Amino acid sequence: MNFVQRSRPPSCSPALSFADRRHLASFRGMCGRSCSAMLCLISFCIILLLESAAHGRPKADDRLAPRDTIELHVWRWTALRDGVLEALQLNHTFTIDSAGALDLPVIGNIAAAGLREEELAELISDRLQARSGRQERADTTVKVIRNLPSDITGSVEHPGLRKAPEPPADAADDSSSAAASERASVENGKAEAQPSVRGSHTPRQPAAEQQQALEGALLNELSAARMEIAAAREEALAARQTARNDAVRDNQNLATARQRAAALVRELDAVRTDRAALEQKLFAALREVEALKKSVQPARGDHEAVLGRELAAARAELGAMQRGARDASAQARAVADMMAEQGQALKQQRRRAEELALDLEVARREAKGLKAKAILADHEKAAMLEARHSVEASLAEAQRALDEERHKAERFERELTAARQTIDALKTSANLAAAAQTNAIRERQVAEAALKRAGDALELERERADSAARDLDSARRERDAAKQEASRVSMELSVALEQERNKAIGLARDLSAARKAIDIKKARDERRTEHMNRAPKARAAATSRGDVSARSRPARQPGVRENHKVKIKRRSRPVLVATIALPDALLPTRPPKLGSR
């Protein structure tokens, strides 16, 4: 039995207007006349709620009032360093207090009572722009959440109704399949529920069809929003992978720059060595000049003047080198200061990149929250099918989730674009800083080398030359002695090698003779053993023949003496097997090749 109780009399609910009837007729032609009994009942309840809300609040009252709840969305707000976080703090639902003021996290209190939605959004954008002090403005939207009064009480019963199936757990991941299955279940129940619907709720059939079309549109929008979120997530992952690839590429470039710096250091060492050799030659020439001065004291004249000019030129060249070293040192200090400033700027840029990464992580967490909200919206939709009192809250939550997901997806796209631009700028600045650092290191090394050579060459050059001459003489003597010792050792080694070779050949010959003697002895022992084995057999045969002859002879005559020959078997000598251990000198060796001598 189907019945509906209302808190107000039937006379208070006016009939539908002509426009409403025309709208419902268009939905009837689009969706068909068949609908499930559950959807018809829920749609009928929603129509009644909408009518009561329409009578409870006039349509022309679009200004904000105390106790109203608004939904605020802010995006494209990157004027400040923490603009993304501020936008995330503002993207929530707020309620106007009884005094008509709206308390926002970043902006503060705003007198919102009596303003329209567009006016409040413009005021919030002005406050954000004034706070940043720039020309950039944030895109702000304000939406009023109307709390519709619930004036329907009672219960709805139907003997043939079944409980709506619970949506699957993975509805957030596969929204399109869930929507398709739900539409299929609705279409399967159309034919069964058509007689009961026509019999009991024929006047409210257009409202049920309108509700079915509305639910289908909401499902489509929810699927599209989920696909947009998936695309935004994939784009965020791609941006993260791109950032990682850029970091790896920067590390490779830095390693290459370090290798180049090492090569330049090696080249600089080679140049230092060459310059030291040239300085040694110069000081050797100066010493020769001094020696010539001492040896040619009587004839100074023009020759002494020439030598003086050469000495003055050498001193002038040395002074120029010292001045160049001082200038290079000053340039190195200036470059070091500049590199320190660039390092600070690079650190600031890295901190900025880390902050952007944190913002991106917050956005990802927000996306996960949206996913959870979408799942919650699905469960609330199932609850709406089960209980008629939660229909209004479930629809509002689903619509709000759709709007939030759409706005979040757009904000994610803009934040990803800004992050890419920041990464490109950081990459360019890192390359410039690496090049400047390499140049500064090279100039500083050149300056240090020049200073060191200029300071040490004047004091230690004479001692180095004397020690080098002594070391050269001692090295020559040691080389001659080493050559003689090497020739003597090589001759002794060749003689010893020849003796060892002859000794090895003699030992090989002795070993061959010993082996032949052993083989001959073994053959003799084998023949002796064979002969001794054949002797007992011959004696046994002779004994048998003697017995036969004795039996054939006549009986013994008395008085005749018989003589018997008895052969005694000799004891055979045992064959002893012994193992002879040859010394190392008698062991076989491979004869040397003819071509080795």
The per-residue pLDDT for 40 is 58
- Residue 126 pLDDT more than 80? yes
What's the pLDDT tens digit per position in 475-497? 888 888 888 888 888 888 888 88
pLDDT category, 583, cuts 50, 70, 90?
confident
Residue 440: count of CB within 10 angstroms of its CB: 20
pLDDT at 300: 56
Does residue 198 surpass a pLDDT of 70? no
Residue 164 or 515, more confident: 515
For 467, residues 6+ apart whose C-beta sits below 8 A from its C-beta are none
Whether 541 shows a pLDDT value over 70: the answer reads: no
pLDDT above 50 for 527? yes
Whether the pLDDT of residue 130 is over 70: the answer is yes
pLDDT at 213 (0 to 100): 78
pLDDT at 45 over 70: no
**Confidence (pLDDT) at 265:** 77
- Which of 82-96, 107-121, 189-203 has the lowest average pLDDT? 189-203
Q: Reply yes or no on domain 60-145 having CATH 3.30.1950.10.
A: yes
Who has greater pLDDT, 303 or 285?
Answer: 285
- Which of 328, 327, 338, 329 has the alpha carbon at shortest distance from 437? 338
Tokens of 506: 């003699």
Q: What is the mean pLDDT of residues 500-519?
A: 88
pLDDT in tens, 337-395: 776 777 677 777 777 777 777 777 777 777 777 777 767 766 766 666 676 666 566 66
Q: What's the whole-number mean pLDDT along residues 581-590?
A: 71
CB 366 within 8 A of CB 88: yes
Give pLDDT, residue 412: 78
Average pLDDT over residues 462-466: 81
Residue 194 confidence (pLDDT): 42
Segment 85-102 shows an average pLDDT of: 83
Task: Determine the pLDDT at residue 167.
Answer: 40
* 502/54: higher pLDDT: 502
Confidence at residue 33, expressed as pLDDT on a 0 to 100 scale: 47
pLDDT surpasses 50 at 302: yes
The per-residue DSSP string of 301-331 comes to HHHHHHHHHHHHHHHHHHHHHHHHHHHHHHH
Range in 166-170, 423-427, 489-493, 516-520 the model is least confident about: 166-170
pLDDT (average), residues 320-342: 71
pLDDT given for residue 380 in this prediction: 65
pLDDT reported for residue 399: 74
Q: Give the residue with greater pLDDT, 221 vs 42.
A: 221
pLDDT of residue 7: 40
CB neighbourhood size of 531 (10 A): 10
Q: Whole-angstrom Cα distance, residue 93 to residue 410?
A: 19
pLDDT number for residue 532: 82
Average pLDDT of span 517-545? 78
Q: Are 439 and 445 in contact (CB under 8 A)?
A: no
Q: According to the model, what pLDDT value does residue 297 have? A: 58
Whether residue 80 is predicted with pLDDT greater than 60 in this model: the reply is no
Confidence (pTM): 0.23
> How high is the pLDDT of residue 473?
86
Rounded Cα distance, 53 and 580, in Å: 125
Tokens of 15: 């009939």
Burial of residue 66 (number of CB atoms within 10 Å: 0-12, 13-18, 19+): middle
pLDDT at 179: 41
Contacts of 72 (CB under 8 A, 6+ apart): 90, 91, 92, 93, 94, 104, 124, 140, 141, 142
Q: Which of 120-129, 139-148, 304-313 has the highest mean pLDDT?
A: 120-129
pLDDT of residue 164: 40
Say if residues 208 and 35 touch (Cβ distance below 8 Å): yes
Q: Is the pLDDT of residue 77 over 60?
A: yes
Confidence of residue 549 (pLDDT cuts 50, 70, 90): low
d(CA 317, CA 323): 10
Per-residue pLDDT tens for 5-37? 344 443 444 444 545 555 455 545 444 444 455
pLDDT in tens, 401-459: 778 877 887 887 788 888 788 888 888 877 888 888 888 888 888 888 887 887 787 78
pLDDT band at 58 (very low <50, low <70, confident <90, very high): very low
What is the mean pLDDT of the segment spanning 121-150? 79
Query: Tell me, what's the pLDDT at 125?
Result: 86
Written as one letter, the residue type at 74 is V
User: For residues 110 and 120, is the Cβ–Cβ distance under 8 A?
Assistant: yes
Position 565 scores a pLDDT of 56
Q: How confident is the model at residue 474 (pLDDT cuts 50, 70, 90)?
A: confident
Predicted confidence (pLDDT) at residue 165 exceeds the cutoff of 60? no
Mean pLDDT of 69-81: 73
Percent of the chain at pLDDT > 90 equals: 1
User: What is the percent of the chain with per-residue pLDDT over 70, rounded to a whole number?
Assistant: 60
Q: Tell me, what's the pLDDT at 595?
A: 53
Mean pLDDT of 324-345: 71
Q: What does DSSP assign to residue 357?
A: H
How far apart CA 445 and CA 268 sit, in angstroms, is 8
pLDDT at 593: 59
Strands (E), 244-389: none
